[in-house]
Amino acid sequence: MGRINVQDRIRARAHPLYLVLVCCCLTPFVILGLLIYIFTNIDPSCSIQNFYVPAINKLFINSSSSIASDSIVFFDLELENYDYKSVHYGAVNLTFSYGANSSMPIGEYTMVGFNQGKGKKAYRRDVAVVTGDAPWEAAAMTAVSSGSTAVFKVHLDTELDFRNLFWYSNKKRFAVGGMVKVDDTGKKVEKKPILLRSGASFDGPPKLGFVVVTSLLVFFIF
């Protein structure tokens, strides 16, 4: 008797109407998952690991080393992709400036665009040559000589497009920035990396609302 009940259940589950019902119930959730995957993008994390300005290092200023007069900025940038899909960066433009309130642009640096896999990190350790005639060195030296810190701004600007299965999303501008405090050694004060932030580092929730509404409509249609 028990065997007959098992066979009846197997036949019932193999019935076309049963399969159609299962498909109708699962389809909205499959569509919801695909829409979330396609329309929800998580911006990468950008941080300054190390930052060094030799021009305001008191040890070099008081020595005869020629590096004291070089207008350069050493930086160590980390880019990390937290998304579950790969991302393509356009040309990555870095702008360095001095001052917390009224900024003095002091230099720029450009990285060639590249692809970054999901969960991967990319590093760029290099030197930006300072240009222009802004009197930032004198202002910075005055700040660190009085026991305070010199504040520099780092601004990053690029375009992102995320890989969705077999195609890339539309290009999206990505701009972040942060302030780096430097003491009289020319190095950043914070031991931890300086996270470059933007007003909207995660563009998922607004689109996620659209995804949920669309999925509910599909659910009721089915």
- pLDDT per residue over 94-119, tens digit each? 999 998 776 688 889 999 999 998 88
What letter does residue 64 receive in the DSSP assignment?
Answer: -
- Contact residues for 214 (Cβ-Cβ < 8 A; gap 6+): 31, 35
150: Cα separation from own chain's centroid? 26
Report phi then psi at 29, rounded to 5.
-70, -35
Domain match, 9 and 108 both: no
Domain match, 134 and 55 both: yes
Domain match, 213 and 182 both: no
Containing domain of residue 24, as a range? 2-38+209-221
Tell me which residues of the chain have a pLDDT lower than 70.
Answer: 1-40, 60-70, 102-103, 132-134, 166-167, 199-222
Angle between helices 2-14 and 16-39 (to 10 degrees): 50
pLDDT of residue 113: 94
pLDDT of residue 207: 45
Domain match, 129 and 20 both: no
Domain match, 67 and 103 both: yes
Give the separation between CA 40 and CA 85, rounded to whole angstroms. Answer: 10
**Conformational region of residue 32, where left means phi above 0, alpha means psi within -120 to 50, and beta covers everything else:** alpha
Residue 152, domain CATH: 2.60.40
Domain match, 89 and 33 both: no
Contact between residue 90 and residue 160 where contact means Cβ atoms under 8 Å apart: yes
Burial of 154 (0-12, 13-18, 19+ CB in 10 A): buried
Domain match, 7 and 109 both: no
Domain match, 141 and 74 both: yes
Give the separation between CA 216 and CA 222, rounded to whole angstroms. Answer: 10
Total number of domains constituting the chain: 2
pLDDT of residue 124: 95
Domain match, 106 and 151 both: yes
Domain match, 98 and 164 both: yes
Domain match, 67 and 161 both: yes
pLDDT of residue 162: 86
Give the separation between CA 222 and CA 214, rounded to whole angstroms. Answer: 13
Domain match, 122 and 79 both: yes
Of how many residues is the chain composed? 222
